[in-house]
Chains A and B, each alone.
Chain A
């Protein structure tokens, strides 16, 4: 069997709280990054708090939450993280979220490939029926990337975000197992 967690440029790897918390602390000070990631007011947390959070979340790993860091294959650099959250196993639906903290790697296809890998994991290893995500209207780069991966637009919460005095929509996208299979099992990824 092939290594389903490895692509051409990146691989998904285990989250080490010690290492990840240091990177997360650095990335969180980039408010543009945080505002692309979270809908709420961005804040700053201590390394200790972030490390404890990672440890706590990792505890439920493999039951509801599958959480990886993204590393570049070339130099093993930590680029960001990606997660798959399965809240309702009976419906076999998962939610994905991705964050590329290292700005040097934005807009170059690394995030797109990491998203392809987590989808492959969701459909071939976790055996889900569909995967969903949400993304903010003011993040066209991400929307473009998700479209490229094969996510379909499923709707938008009108004006659900208030940033800098302006209302923006929150977009919802989804991909069904058959859509993924048709797209990726005929080609090789």
Chain B
């Protein structure tokens, strides 16, 4: 039977939504002042961004979504009061081979460690495999982002690449890891959870 009843954007505590150009730049600008969070997410030198700079980024994200058709970007909201929790995206989609890259982050410290990450990833995977019909998804994670590594492992991702010493921060080097999950692996999981 065709299951189109299951809502793609709704989870227990969170839901996926679009960008709000009026209220989100202010909030995301605050997140960028958290160097620790930004260093988990970014590989370029981190720096705080003003709301005006975040707004520009949002504009270029929507432009890319519209013109290139290889980026699907979501904001993560609390189901209760709809406040902005984080962002999630499937990017750099290679349609010929059916590949996409995942990116997710929960910006506010008080929204972390509540299992929201799992709920976001579950939605993203369903979206990638059941809506975009991708064959595989990939996530790049710095060796020091232990939370992200645990999350991807929990969902059955396999560590596929370890770029030795590709990262340098705080005066030492770290590996850059790539995790991958294939559609048959995801389907197997989905079956066993039913």
Q: Do chains A and B touch in the complex (CB under 8 A)?
A: yes
Interface set of A (CB-CB < 8 Å, partner B): 39-41, 88, 90-93, 129-130, 132, 152, 154-162, 167, 172, 174, 176
Given A90-B44, A90-B45 in contact, is the A154-B167 Cβ separation under 8 Å? no
B residues in contact with A157, CB < 8 Å: 99, 136, 138, 160-161, 178, 180
Given A40-B96, A41-B96, A90-B44 in contact, is the A159-B182 Cβ separation under 8 Å? yes
Q: Which of B158, B165, B178 has the most CB of A within 10 A?
A: B165
Query: Chain B 151-170 against A: per-residue CB contact (8 Å), 1 yes, 0 no?
Result: 00000001111111111100
Determine the main DSSP class of A at the interface with B.
strand
Determine the main DSSP class of B at the interface with A.
strand
A residues in contact with B136, CB < 8 Å: 157-160
Given the complex of chains A and B, what is the CA–CA distance between A93 and B43 in angstroms? 11
Contacts A92-B168, A130-B165 known; 17 new A-B pairs at CB < 8 A: A39-B94, A39-B97, A88-B43, A90-B43, A90-B44, A93-B163, A130-B163, A154-B163, A155-B160, A155-B161, A156-B161, A159-B182, A162-B97, A162-B98, A172-B161, A176-B164, A176-B165
Given the complex of chains A and B, what is the CA–CA distance between A79 and B162 in angstroms? 33
Contact across chains for A162 and B161 when beta carbons are under 8 A apart: no
A residues in contact with B159, CB < 8 Å: 155
**Is B58 on the interface with A (CB-CB < 8 A)?**
no
**Is B74 on the interface with A (CB-CB < 8 A)?**
no
Given A88-B43, A162-B135 in contact, is the A174-B163 Cβ separation under 8 Å? yes
Contact across chains for B167 and A162 when beta carbons are under 8 A apart: no
Contact across chains for A158 and B180 when beta carbons are under 8 A apart: yes
- Name the residue of chain B whose CB is nearest to the CB of A42: B96
Query: Chain B 31-59 against A: per-residue CB contact (8 Å), 1 yes, 0 no?
Result: 00000000000011100000000000000
Interface set of B (CB-CB < 8 Å, partner A): 43-45, 94, 96-99, 135-136, 138, 158-168, 173, 178, 180, 182
B residues in contact with A159, CB < 8 Å: 135-136, 182
A residues in contact with B180, CB < 8 Å: 157-158, 160
Given the complex of chains A and B, what is the CA–CA distance between A120 and B138 in angstroms? 31
CB distance from A81 to the nearest CB of B (A): 23
Given the complex of chains A and B, what is the CA–CA distance between A17 and B38 in angstroms? 40
Given the complex of chains A and B, what is the CA–CA distance between A92 and B43 in angstroms? 11
CB distance from B61 to the nearest CB of A (A): 19
Given A129-B168, A130-B166, A174-B166 in contact, is the A40-B94 Cβ separation under 8 Å? yes
- Name the residue of chain A whose CB is nearest to the CB of B177: A155
- Name the residue of chain A whose CB is nearest to the CB of B45: A90
Given A155-B161, A156-B160 in contact, is the A161-B97 Cβ separation under 8 Å? yes
Given the complex of chains A and B, what is the CA–CA distance between A158 and B96 in angstroms? 15
Contact across chains for B160 and A158 when beta carbons are under 8 A apart: yes
Given the complex of chains A and B, what is the CA–CA distance between A130 and B135 in angstroms? 31
CB distance from B122 to the nearest CB of A (A): 21
**13 residue pairs from A and B, CB less than 8 Å apart:** A39-B97, A90-B45, A91-B166, A92-B168, A129-B165, A129-B168, A130-B163, A132-B166, A154-B161, A154-B164, A157-B178, A158-B180, A162-B97
